[in-house]
Structure 1
Amino acid sequence: MKILPLARKAIRFELGLWKSLFRWALRRTALTDPTAVGFSYAGVVTPMFIGITVVAAIEIPVAHLLLPWAPVRLVLLLLGVQTLFWMIGLLASLRVNPHEVSDSGLRIRYGTGLDFTIAWQDIAAIRPRIRALHSNRTVVHEETEAGLVLSVGVASQTNLDVVLRRALTVDLRGETSEPFSQLRFYTDESAALVARARELIACYAVPDGTAPAATSG
């Protein structure tokens, strides 16, 4: 039955939000490699999350004052509190799970649901380029003349292109991606990430282009 896997995913998601809130309150990011430097991607969506949170916070007392039916007020109160928790928890998950640049490779994240790493030996080049995604989805596959592109967007955009030495597959939320030859993603700190990544690409480059496959984080 599909109910049990969905229930497990829902529980993991809820626990991930609580864990993210705890880390955010303590101002701790989820960096796991001592050589890692984190690069945020939440800045562009933070105003949206704040706006939704403020609206939800206002609606709770307004509904309590205007509606005369106690059962309806209770239901709206629970929905309002749940919305507040989800919005703050989701923002926290983006804040405490940044992209990572470390000796291990380029680690791409989106909250607690997306996490994979590409080794530097598999990366040929990285360059800044702003692109709009014609989809509201976070993960987008797109066929191009250069091959399949995997985009991990934020607010329907990416600003970094990563050219791979060979087609790779990665784990995407429990499913294996199609082999892709280019990765596109977004960060608030593109210039700093590119500078550090190019240093490591040069350091770990191999002449024949052979390297281990990308791994999930």
Structure 2
Amino acid sequence: MTVAGLLRKAVTFEIGMWCSLWRWVRRRPDVPAGADAFPYASAVTPVLWTFIVLSAVEIPLVDWLLPWQSLRIALLVVGVYGLLWMIGLLASMEVYPHSVGDHGLRVRSGFAVDVRVPWEEIVAVRARRRSVEGSRTVVVEESGERRAVSVTVMSSTQVDVELRTPLVLPLARTRGRPVTELRLAADDPAALVRRLRAGLADHAARTDAARVDAARADAAAPADGDAR
């Protein structure tokens, strides 16, 4: 990645962190109107809170131990920024949950991942706990012609979403290659699966009703000869 790309990524992350903190303080999660939210951060929350508390204790301790004023001020700035960074990371996972609404599934991981999958692209969904190698949030796995993308929390996922046709997702890790399955973490995978299956059933019913209405409209329309 170029220097310009790294700077752009850093600025984007900085803006995302502060926006997350603002939403968290105001208790305004990013969930579309009428959609159901499904959190995913419970596994990592205790870890983040541990680091937050330790950092909060470390800031005044370092200030008390160091005799040099200029160094104390510099480390105070760094310590406060690091503390806000960790709180912002936790906030981003709280205010950007997964959501399911009229248009389908929206998969999030803080402000860094935002993937929308419409109902017509989902063919099946199941609860299945998987361990994923590595510590990356987004992991791509390939097996023959199939390619699965995992959006993980603590190197694991709990829900598999099988796609009807290979789909290109807005994730840099896929490098523009279509995927056939999306796997994600969820605090309550059973509830998310139930909601997705209900949404799929509703979408199928609406689609069938629309086809029937269209067929009736075609049958009721006058033929060209009759219209003349």
For 1:146 and 1:152, the matched residues in 2 are separated by 20
Moved more, 177-186 or 132-141: 177-186
For 1:90 and 1:58, the matched residues in 2 are separated by 19
Name 2:178's counterpart in structure 1. 179
Q: Does 1:168 align with 2:172?
A: no
- RCO higher in structure (CA 8 A, sep ≥6): 1
Partner letter of residue 98 of structure 1? Answer: P
Which protein has the larger Cα radius of gyration, Structure 1 or Structure 2?
Answer: 2
Aligned residue for 2:190, secondary structure, equals helix
Name 1:64's counterpart in structure 2. 63
Q: Is the 8 A contact 1:128 1:161 kept in 2?
A: yes
Name 2:30's counterpart in structure 1. 30
**Residues 7 and 91 (structure 1), Cα distance of their counterparts in 2 relative to 1, 3 Å cut:** same
Deviations 1:105-159 (A, max 9, x none): 1101111111010111111111101111111000000112571111000010000
Name 2:52's counterpart in structure 1. 53
Q: Is the 8 A contact 1:106 1:119 kept in 2?
A: yes
Aligned residue for 1:128, secondary structure, equals strand
Name 1:210's counterpart in structure 2. none
After TM superposition, the structure 1 = structure 2 runs for residues 125-136 of structure 1, keeping only pairs within 5 Å, are 125-136=124-135
Name 1:195's counterpart in structure 2. 194
After TM superposition, the structure 1 = structure 2 runs for residues 144-163 of structure 1, keeping only pairs within 5 Å, are 144=143, 147-163=146-162
Higher helix share goes to which structure?
A: 2
For 1:16 and 1:145, the matched residues in 2 are separated by 37
Count, aligned residues? 206
For 2:108 and 2:40, the matched residues in 1 are separated by 9
Q: Is the 8 A contact 1:170 1:176 kept in 2?
A: no
Moved more, 98-107 or 164-173: 164-173
Moved more, 159-168 or 73-82: 73-82
Name 1:4's counterpart in structure 2. 4
Identity of aligned residues (%): 44
Q: How far did 1:35 drift? A: 2.5
Q: TM-score, normalised by structure 1?
A: 0.88
Q: How far did 1:38 drift? A: 0.8
Q: How far did 1:175 drift? A: 7.3
Name 2:226's counterpart in structure 1. none
Name 1:110's counterpart in structure 2. 109
Name 2:223's counterpart in structure 1. none
Partner letter of residue 127 of structure 2? Answer: P
Name 1:214's counterpart in structure 2. none
Moved more, 12-21 or 108-117: 12-21
Aligned residue for 1:191, secondary structure, equals helix
Partner letter of residue 159 of structure 2? Answer: L
Structure 1: gaps of 5 or more residues: 208-217
Q: Once superposed, which parts of structure 1, at least 4 consecutive aligned residues long, lie more than 4 Å away? A: 173-176
Partner letter of residue 46 of structure 1? Answer: T
Q: How far did 1:100 drift? A: 0.8
Structure 2: gaps of 5 or more residues: 209-228
For 2:171 and 2:70, the matched residues in 1 are separated by 41
Aligned residue for 1:160, secondary structure, equals strand
Q: How far did 1:41 drift? A: 0.8
CA RMSD of aligned residues (A): 2.0
Name 2:224's counterpart in structure 1. none
Q: How far did 1:74 drift? A: 2.0
Q: Is the 8 A contact 1:169 1:176 kept in 2?
A: no
Q: How far did 1:12 drift? A: 2.2
**Residues 123 and 84 (structure 1), Cα distance of their counterparts in 2 relative to 1, 3 Å cut:** same
Aligned residue for 2:71, secondary structure, equals helix
For 1:173 and 1:197, the matched residues in 2 are separated by 26
